[in-house]
Amino acid sequence: MVDHLLGIEGLSKNEIHRYLESAQSFVEVSERDIKKVPTLRGKTIVNIFFEPSTRTLASFDIAGKRLSADTINVSAGASSVKKGETLLDTVRTLESMNPDVLVIRHSESGAPHFVAQHLSRASVVNAGDGAHEHPTQALLDLLTLRQHFAESGRDIEGIKIGFVGDVRHSRVARSNIWGHLALGNRVRLIGPTTLVPRDLATVFRSDRVEVAHSLQEGLDGLDVVVCLRMQLERQDEHFIPNLDEYSKEYCVSERVLARCCPQSVVLHPGPMNRGTEVTGDVADGPRSLIRRQVNNGVAVRMAVLYLLARTAEPHEVFEP
């Protein structure tokens, strides 16, 4: 049975913890002098990115290399996608390289699922699809929080977390929300009605998700605040009047955090627009876990590749 990681939706609490526990072991590997283990020697990992990305691609690439797998990176600009090839044809071509894992990012929601259905032997990892899911980012956010709460003798289960900003278009938020719901946590979605419509909460089919349109009310009593990236093109699409107007109402500052949730910690999936969704004093301050998120990225992706690559089936010899 070939395993895929297409989304956090549907994962059980135990499955999430299994990823996080393995990732914690890979944190140690990343701190060694020789940051390489022979675990996936002889395995091939293809990273195919139909959407520009530097950080996620670099992170997957280095994770594969530290496990001794052979990694191939294909970016849409350089491939035949630009020449009009369909997704399925591209993937079939890549399959002829006999990859064990295919890491895919695509601007269309559901593209990794489509690919997974048409590949017979390789494991598929979703590295972000449209506004749907970005499961490895959610896992690294969860790992960061698990480490933080473990240090203060607390548990990641039972916390209150809020997502501030463009929840509607955020695959990071979506994956995170599914993860926190699986862990039994309470989730609050905070932002203007255009970016956090009231019925967005119903998507998650849980009474532990609530919506707040005022930043002060939304932050009240939270343990964790996730600031989402405000994509600059959103103002042209009229979701917000303009960035200044948005940040006046929704920029997460030390002042508002100190008033509404003084004990909270702050995450940001990056890249950050300082002064738009989060102020510099928060991002660089003591409650920020942002640096740690970056450090955990490679370890989480190593864990995902480790757990999936071994379920890939051996390739049959091609007979014409």
Partner 1 sequence: MTKQYKPVPREWQLVMDEETIARAISRISFEIVEKDRDLKNLAIVGIRTGGEYLGKRLAEEIQRIEKIEVSYGVIDITLYRDDLSSAQSQPTLRGTALPFRIAGSRIVLVDDVLFTGRTIRSALDAIIDFGRPRRVELAALVDRGYRELPIQADYVGRVVPCQRSQLVRVRLSEMGYRDGAYLIDREDR
Residue type, 180: H
Region from 27-35, 137-145, 190-198, 291-299 binding partner 1, contact rule CB under 8 A: 27-35
Which of 34, 317 has the CB closer to partner 1? Answer: 34
Give the side-chain half-sphere CA count within 13 A for 1. 2
CB of 294 to partner 1, least distance (A): 21
Q: Does 291 bind partner 1 (CB under 8 A)?
A: no
Coil, helix or strand for 88?
helix
Region from 17-25, 167-175, 202-210, 272-280 binding partner 1, contact rule CB under 8 A: 17-25
What is the per-residue burial (b if ≥16 Cβ within 10 Å, else e) of 243-274? Answer: beebbeebbbbbebbeebbeebbbbbbeebbe
Site map (CB under 8 A) of partner 1, residues 63-92, x = contact: ----x-------------------------
Give the number of residues in contact with partner 1, rule: CB under 8 A: 18
Region from 34-42, 57-65, 134-142, 184-192 binding partner 1, contact rule CB under 8 A: 34-42
CB of 40 to partner 1, least distance (A): 8
Region from 29-37, 102-110, 130-138, 174-182 binding partner 1, contact rule CB under 8 A: 29-37
Q: Does 34 bind partner 1 (CB under 8 A)?
A: yes
Enumerate residues 6+ apart whose C-beta is below 8 A from 307. 3, 18, 19, 22
Q: How far is the C-alpha of 40 from the C-alpha of 232, rounded, in Å? A: 40
Enumerate residues 6+ apart whose C-beta is below 8 A from 24. 143, 146, 147, 299
Q: Does 320 bind partner 1 (CB under 8 A)?
A: no
Pairing between β-strand 101-106 and β-strand 209-212 as defined by DSSP bridges: unpaired
Where helices occur in the chain by DSSP H, the ranges are 13-30, 55-66, 87-95, 111-118, 135-151, 171-182, 215-219, 243-250, 254-260, 280-283, 290-309
CB atoms within 10 A of CB 153: 6
Which of 26, 49 has the CB closer to partner 1? Answer: 26
Region from 18-26, 87-95, 183-191, 279-287 binding partner 1, contact rule CB under 8 A: 18-26
Which of 122, 172 has the CB closer to partner 1? Answer: 122
Q: How far is the C-alpha of 133 from the C-alpha of 7, rounded, in Å? A: 6
Q: Does 1 bind partner 1 (CB under 8 A)?
A: no
Among 37, 58, 81, 87, binds partner 1 (CB under 8 A): 37
Q: Does 32 bind partner 1 (CB under 8 A)?
A: yes
Which of 33, 316 has the CB closer to partner 1? Answer: 33
CB of 245 to partner 1, least distance (A): 48
Q: How far is the C-alpha of 239 from the C-alpha of 262, rounded, in Å? A: 30
Which of 195, 300 has the CB closer to partner 1? Answer: 300
CB of 101 to partner 1, least distance (A): 13
Distances (CA, A) of 141 to 70, 195, 265, 286: 27, 22, 12, 17
CB of 62 to partner 1, least distance (A): 16
Coil, helix or strand for 29?
helix
CB of 133 to partner 1, least distance (A): 23
Distances (CA, A) of 261 to 23, 215, 294: 29, 11, 24
Residue type, 93: T
Point out which residues bind partner 1 (CB under 8 A).
21-22, 24-26, 28-29, 32-34, 36-39, 67, 306-307, 310
